[in-house]
Amino acid sequence: MCANECKLTAMAVILASSLLTISAVSNAETISENPKFWLDSGKQSLADSEKLKPNENNAKNVILFVGDGMGISTITAARIFEGQSKPNNRGGEENSLSFEKFPYVALSKTYSVNQQTPDSAPTMTAIITGVKTNDGELSVGMAVARQEKNGNVVNANKVKSLLEQAEENGLSTGIVTTARLTHATPAACYAHTSERDWEADADMPTDATVSDIAKQLINFNYGNGLEVAMGGGRSKFLPETINDPEELDKKGSRKDGLNLTQQWLDKYPNAAYVFDKMGFAAIDAKKTDHLLGLFDISHMEYENDREKDTAGEPSLTEMTAKAIDILSKNKKGYVLMVEAGRIDHAHHAGNAYRALSETVELSNAVRKALEKTNPKDTLIVVTADHSHTFTIAGYPQRGNPILGLVKQPGETDFAKDKHGMPYTTLGYANGPGYRGTPNRVDLTLIDTAHPDFLQEAAVPLASETHAAEDVAIFATGSKAHLFHGIQEESYIYQVMAKALKFKVGQ
C-alpha cells in the first residue's frame, strides 16, 4: 500500500512540475515574443538611454545597500525566482529586481591586499573607506598585522569611514543589517580593528588593548554619534550576568560586565533601545533621535524563517524605512548603510532558496528607499562585497522553475548526467551539498524547490566559500553616472565621497 502511495506521490510531483512548466511556457507565448516585440522593446530601451543625463547635483543623502555575497549569478537567479512568483509572468527571466532598473552599472574588483578571494572585512573596508586592506581586518591600513593586539598600532593605522566623515560634516548616520551589528560589513562602518572576530571582549585575547567591536559602536564619537543602528547580535552588547530578553535561557556574552544597551540610552538624548518587533513598531521616528535595535541574540532570522521568530523581527524593508524616517530629520542630510547580511550565510550553507529570498527582500528594501527619497539629492548605490561559488547551469527551457531540475526545450523528461541522473539548474562549486559518493543521488522525486533543499556541490566542504569574480555596482541619483566600467572596489567610496563633497580620506 505504501509503495503504491509513494508511486502516486511521485507521479503527482512529476505532474505538478510538468504543469508548472507548461503554464510558464504558455504565458510566454501569449505575449508574442516575436521579432517585432524584441525590436520595439530594444528601441524603447535605446530611447530611454538617449534621454539619460548625468545628475551632476551633489548628494545630500547617500544610501549604500550591500548584498553580502550577492554575486551576479545570485542576482540573475533571484530575478527569475521573483519573476516566476508573479502572475502572468513570461517565464520569470524577463523580470527585473528593483535595483536592476537603475541607469548606471559598473563592475567591482573585490580582491583584498593579500587574498585573491576576499572575506567581508577588507571588502567593506574598501567600499566604505576607499582603502583596500588585509583579510579579516576592519578599517585599518594594510600595515596592521591580523590580530594585532596593540591598540596604539591599530589606532595609528585607522582609515576613516564615510560614516565618520558624514558625522564630522554634520550629517546623520545609520547602519541597518540582518547580520549581527558587530559582523564584518556593518562593523567596518564604525570600528577599527585587526580582527573581525573580536566582536565582544569575551572574543579577544585578555592582553589585547584594542577595543572590542560592540564597544566601538557605543563609543562612536564622531559628530553627535550614530543615529540608527539596527540588526542582530544582542549577546555582544549584554553582560554574561543578564538573561537575554527573548531567549530567556541564554545570557549576554560580555565578561566585562558592561550593558552596552544601557550605555546607548545613557549616552544619547531621545534615545531608544528595542529588541523585538513590537518595540520596533512603537518607535516614533519624530521623537527618536538615536535608535538601537538588536532583534536577535545573534544574526537575525532569514526572511524565510522570520515569521517563526519568538519575539518577532522587523524585515529589512521595515528597518530601512524606519531608518530613513529618523535620518531624514537632519536637513543637512545623512549616510545610511543597509546590508542584506544573510544572503552570504544561506550560500555558505549551500541553500539557494534562502539566498534568493534574502536577495528579493533586499530588492524590496531598495524599492522602499526609492519611494522615500528624491533622486535629485540622493545617491543610492547597490552592490555586493564579494561573490559566491553559485552557478546557473545546464540548458533549462524558458520558464523552467529556477529551483527545479533542468528540463530542456521540447523535452518531456529531465536532462540527465552521464549516470542517467537529473540535475538542478542551481548548484555550487563547493560546499556541504556534495553528494558524490559513490554516485550522485537520484533527484527525480525530490522537491528541489523546497526551502530546505541543499543544492548539490562539486567539492565537499563543510561550508561553501566565497568566489573571486567581479560583482556589480548599481547606482541612481546624484553623481550615479560616475559608476561605469570595471573599477576597484575602493572606487565606490570615491564616488560616494564626491557626491557628498567630502575630501577623500579626511
Rounded-to-integer distance, Cα 34 and Cα 79, Å? 23
Candidates 312-320, 347-355, 474-482, 486-494 — which segment interacts with another protein by CB under 8 A?
347-355
By CB under 8 A, residue 399 contacts another protein = no
Q: How far is the CB of 7 from another protein (least distance, A)?
A: 11
Measured CA to CA, the distance from residue 227 to residue 402 in angstroms comes to 40
Question: Distances in Å between the alpha carbon of 451 and those of 92, 178, 351?
Answer: 19, 19, 8
- The answer for residues whose C-beta is within 8 angstroms of residue 210's C-beta and 6 or more apart is 148, 149, 150, 151, 154, 193, 194, 195, 198, 204
Q: What is the spatial distance between Cα 256 and Cα 272, in angstroms, rounded to a whole number?
A: 23
Asked whether position 120 contacts another protein by CB under 8 A, the answer is: yes
In whole angstroms, what is the distance from residue 453 CA to residue 480 CA? 39
Q: Which of residues 432-451 bind another protein (CB under 8 A)?
A: 432, 441-442, 445-447, 450-451
Q: How far is the CB of 452 from another protein (least distance, A)?
A: 5
Radius of gyration of the chain (CA): 24
Instruction: By CB under 8 A, name the one of 137, 167, 201, 344 that touches another protein.
Output: 344
Which is nearer to another protein, 6 or 52 (by Cβ)? Answer: 6
Q: What secondary structure, in 3-state letters, does 462-503 show?
A: CCCCEECCCEEEEEEECCHHHCCCEEECCHHHHHHHHHCCCC
Question: Minimal distance in Å, beta carbon 271 to another protein?
Answer: 28
Binding residue for another protein, selected from 82, 119, 137, 318, defined by CB under 8 A: 119
| Residue 495 in the binding site for another protein (CB under 8 A) | no
Joined together, the cell numbers standing for residue 173 give 548616520
Marked catalytic residue, from 120, 161, 357, 387: 120
With cell 530588492, the residue in question is: 363
Q: How far apart are the first and last CA of the chain?
A: 75
Tell whether residue 2 is a contact of another protein (CB under 8 A). Answer: yes
What is d(CA 464, CA 329) in angstroms, rounded to the nearest whole number? Answer: 42
Q: How far is the CB of 246 from another protein (least distance, A)?
A: 10
Environment class of 175 (CB within 10 Å of its CB; exposed 0-12, middle 13-18, buried 19+): buried
Count CA atoms closer than 13 A to 64's CA, side-chain side: 30
Does the protein bind another protein through residue 156 (CB under 8 A)? Answer: no
Q: Give the three cell numbers for residue 392.
A: 546557473
Q: What track of x and - describes contact with another protein for positions 163 through 202 (by CB under 8 A)?
A: ---------------------x-----------x-----x
Contacts with another protein in 52-111 (CB under 8 A)? Answer: none
6 binds another protein per the rule CB under 8 A: yes
Q: Is 278 in the site for another protein (CB under 8 A)?
A: no
- Give every strand in the sheet of 426-431, ordered side by side: 390-392, 426-431, 457-460
For residues 329-358, b (16+ Cβ closer than 10 Å) or e, as one string? ebeebbbbbbbbbbbbbbbbbbbbbbbbbb
Q: Tell whether residue 5 is a contact of another protein (CB under 8 A).
A: yes
Return the C-alpha cell found at 30.
Answer: 501569449
Residue 61 or 123: the one with the smaller Cβ distance to another protein is 123
Q: According to the binding rule CB under 8 A, does residue 349 interact with another protein?
A: yes
From candidates 79, 236, 342, 407, binder to another protein by CB under 8 A: 342
Cα–Cα distance measured from residue 55 to residue 276, given in angstroms and rounded to the nearest whole number? 40
* Distances in whole angstroms, Cα of residue 409 to Cα of each of 30, 230, 424: 17, 46, 15
Q: Which of 17, 165, 211, 351 binds another protein (CB under 8 A)?
A: 351
State yes or no: residue 345 binds another protein (CB under 8 A).
yes
Print the SS3 string covering 11-23: HHHHHHHHHHHHH
Of 24-32, 279-287, 293-301, 481-489, the segment contacting another protein by CB under 8 A is: 293-301
Q: State yes or no: residue 305 binds another protein (CB under 8 A).
A: yes
161 flagged as catalytic: no
- Judged by CB under 8 A, the chain residues 239 through 268 that form the site for another protein are 247, 249, 253
- For another protein, the binding residue among 82, 137, 195, 203 (CB under 8 A) is 203
Given a contact cutoff of 8 angstroms between Cβ atoms, the answer to whether 121 and 135 are in contact is yes
Nearer to another protein, 202 or 285 (CB): 202
| By the rule CB under 8 A, 458 interacts with another protein | no
CB of 421 to another protein, least distance (A): 12
Give least dist CB 446 to another protein, A: 5
Does 114 contact another protein by CB under 8 A? no
Q: According to the binding rule CB under 8 A, does residue 354 interact with another protein?
A: yes
Candidates 34, 452, 501, 506; binder of another protein (CB under 8 A) is 452
Q: How far, in Å, CA of 88 to CA of 31, rounded? A: 9
**Which active-site residues does the annotation give?**
120
> Which chain residues interact with another protein by CB under 8 A?
1-3, 5-6, 119-120, 184, 196, 202-203, 247, 249, 253, 298-299, 301-302, 304-305, 308, 310, 342, 344-351, 354, 432, 441-442, 445-447, 450-454, 461-466
